[in-house]
A and B are shown apart, each in its own frame.
Chain A
């Protein structure tokens, strides 16, 4: 048992921040209140510190190596076929990669690990804890989304190979073709068509077509308009990943009901997709009722910069308290693990990030403890 005493609690529910105690048992939160006592509990005095749920980065390629490198993600996409939905990225992940311990050092207890963006249909992602040595035990939810990609990345891989796609219009055509074929397959299967030949590539899309898990599509600028139009027409739940240029598509985003996963930022201004990177869109979308998450796209940007992304969203207009949801409950919802993560509520996992200073409000805010399922996983020396 672990008793967290006298913290300034930012619960990420509808409740306002308050000062109080949290009692944890068997990895879960069992009591929240004032002046809690428990004879058997280890007591952690958090007077003057900020208690948040463990942070979540829902768009990550952490541990996709090779080896223990934190500099790349060579194993993120297979690039053998632009339509590779049956790829499960959990088989590329190595929990001994330093990205995971670095996540803990930065208050991040959950990652959504998804394939890279070199194919058009990239494969299936999973949600995971950031501690442990067996990725299959660390895993919180396998097959939590279908990752898709538009634009320069898949185009760049296949361009010039005398095969599709060779252009943006080629990329979006392949996406539509796949969705259409998979839907036909599902309908034939449901109608009991005996001539139907099993096709794994279409099987794995059925949970997406049934809205059980989201499609998560890498796109920016006008590719975003294509993604919204195509995915909306199939009635699937989806998120726009990266979303640079979202401030030009605010109405379409809000109307579609999609989630935005914004980031990474910090690149130099260049042509193509990085011509206009507008994190001020996050504050605007939040005020319009769109759920936004922030991501650093680890390891492309370090997980320490998730706090920097929160700061930058606030610096460019987002409400500092509401923006905390973009690294906690909203990404937990997108991962489909909000029944146990993302907020401080009784019954939820005892995952916490303890800060000195209010992250997103105070410059120099830093993680003092990271707690995973009731155990201190990181303690600032």
Chain B
């Protein structure tokens, strides 16, 4: 299939007019004047890479929403777990993330544990867990916020931030040299994290928690730190830069969090403009929220901004690079998955832009057929 003459938003900040050849679910070629059979003329339309959510736990509650599988509450330190085993593709599919253009996401454990387990990158529609998986063990999920204390204060602790720091510090030192399965898996993951082979994705809702975390992990300079939620990241721009940390902004609408944390979107955007790796997620402090909210944050981040492609990067190439899957997704480039969004209008400029079609690996998973205003 050839998509002809569209405005192609590559994902890396560049935009070009051109054609895309799709073959066997992949982007086979991007260029001009491509020829072949099955040509679709997309003159006047915009194409984006499928958007990527940088870490939520939609799909881990099961179809009946009865199971509670995104946190393992038996211990606050469970780096050996893999949330992939909790993911129900049916439940993820009914969230219809692809209707908001989100074609892939990092599925991560919740925010209950200091070290919760590993994350996977998956596509957002499908029936078979194997078929929707892009890569497993892409990051270790952590949480360093009061929410952990709320969960564990009646379950043996931690009961304080210093209690959390002590447990984290100890887990990083990894004193357990056992040869049993649990010890070996723990050791494997902790070594990868400390070497920076995989990043650590840390939920923090305030600046002071982020600073505490950065201090605890000081002995591990190669560790790649990605903060998520990050409502007050604007207050510690210098420290984040010094550490080469990345920031993912969580949902702030629920419970008036924008008001509660006195967020500063303009400052957050400036940090992204200055090169801080910046992503977006539907994750909130205790729950993952609906697909539409991601564009609410996009609009706030675009306040007073001329360069709309900065926000495109937040939903495409940035998270793909952070989680080591930019060889598969996150841009419109030869060899990557044909996860594509066809829009009438640019949704980063105009609110009434219409998502006409969502493709995952060359297959149309959503096409717009409703009435237009």
Give chain A's interface residues, CB within 8 Å of chain B: 70-72, 98-99, 102, 265-271, 277, 280, 283-284, 296, 298-305, 307-308, 311-312, 314-315, 317-320, 356, 360-366
Contact A270 B65 (CB under 8 A): yes
**CA A197 to CA B305, docked complex, whole Å:** 65
Contact B295 A361 (CB under 8 A): no
Contact A361 B259 (CB under 8 A): no
Contact B295 A315 (CB under 8 A): yes
**17 A-B pairs (CB sep. < 8 Å):** A71-B256, A72-B255, A266-B290, A268-B287, A268-B288, A269-B95, A283-B373, A284-B371, A299-B255, A302-B255, A304-B253, A315-B347, A318-B373, A362-B351, A363-B347, A364-B302, A366-B303
Residues A299 and B256 in contact in the complex (CB < 8 Å), given A266-B290, A315-B295: yes
List of A residues within 8 angstroms of B372 by Cβ: 317
The interface bits of chain B over 218-258 (1 if a CB of A lies within 8 angstroms of the residue's CB, else 0) are 00000000000000000000000000000000011111111
List of B residues within 8 angstroms of A296 by Cβ: 253
List of B residues within 8 angstroms of A315 by Cβ: 292, 295, 347, 351-353
Contact A364 B304 (CB under 8 A): yes
- How distant is B170 from chain A, measured CB to nearest CB, in Å? 32
Residues A269 and B350 in contact in the complex (CB < 8 Å), given A102-B259, A364-B303, A365-B299: no
Contact of A269 among B96, B256, B293 (CB under 8 A): B96
Contact of B289 among A99, A267, A317 (CB under 8 A): A267
Residues A71 and B299 in contact in the complex (CB < 8 Å), given A266-B253, A266-B254, A360-B351: no
Within 8 A of A (CB), among B246-300: 251-260, 282, 287-290, 292-293, 295-296, 298-300
Contact A280 B258 (CB under 8 A): no
List of A residues within 8 angstroms of B292 by Cβ: 265-266, 312, 315
**CA A360 to CA B349, docked complex, whole Å:** 11
List of B residues within 8 angstroms of A300 by Cβ: 254-256
Contact A268 B349 (CB under 8 A): no
List of B residues within 8 angstroms of A311 by Cβ: 295-296, 299, 351
Interface residues on chain B, number (Cβ under 8 Å) = 45
Contact of A302 among B256, B302, B371 (CB under 8 A): B256
Contact B299 A308 (CB under 8 A): yes
Q: Does B178 contact A (CB under 8 A)?
A: no
Give chain B's interface residues, CB within 8 Å of chain A: 58, 64-65, 94-96, 251-260, 282, 287-290, 292-293, 295-296, 298-305, 308, 347-353, 370-373
List of B residues within 8 angstroms of A317 by Cβ: 370-373
**CA A190 to CA B316, docked complex, whole Å:** 68
Q: Which 8 A-B pairs have the closest CB atoms?
A: A364-B302, A308-B296, A302-B256, A366-B303, A102-B259, A70-B256, A299-B256, A305-B253
List of A residues within 8 angstroms of B65 by Cβ: 270-271
Contact of A99 among B58, B259, B290, B351 (CB under 8 A): B259
Closest B-chain residue to A277, C-beta based? Answer: B290
Given contacts A268-B288, A364-B302, 10 further A-B contacts (CB under 8 A): A70-B256, A268-B58, A299-B259, A305-B253, A308-B296, A314-B352, A315-B292, A363-B299, A363-B350, A366-B303
Closest A-chain residue to B260, C-beta based? Answer: A70
- How distant is A71 from chain B, measured CB to nearest CB, in Å? 5
From B252, B295, B370, B373, residue with most partner A Cβ within 10 Å:
B373
List of B residues within 8 angstroms of A366 by Cβ: 303-304
Closest B-chain residue to A321, C-beta based? Answer: B373
- How distant is A203 from chain B, measured CB to nearest CB, in Å? 35
- How distant is B341 from chain A, measured CB to nearest CB, in Å? 14
List of B residues within 8 angstroms of A298 by Cβ: 256
**CA A139 to CA B305, docked complex, whole Å:** 38
List of A residues within 8 angstroms of B308 by Cβ: 363
Contact A280 B256 (CB under 8 A): no
Contact A269 B94 (CB under 8 A): yes
**CA A267 to CA B287, docked complex, whole Å:** 9
Contact A265 B290 (CB under 8 A): yes
Closest B-chain residue to A304, C-beta based? Answer: B258
**CA A274 to CA B251, docked complex, whole Å:** 18
List of A residues within 8 angstroms of B370 by Cβ: 280, 317
Closest B-chain residue to A358, C-beta based? Answer: B351
- How distant is A320 from chain B, measured CB to nearest CB, in Å? 6
Closest A-chain residue to B59, C-beta based? Answer: A268
List of A residues within 8 angstroms of B347 by Cβ: 315, 363
Contact A361 B299 (CB under 8 A): no
**CA A270 to CA B370, docked complex, whole Å:** 23
List of A residues within 8 angstroms of B299 by Cβ: 307-308, 311, 363-365
Contact B290 A303 (CB under 8 A): no
Contact B351 A363 (CB under 8 A): yes
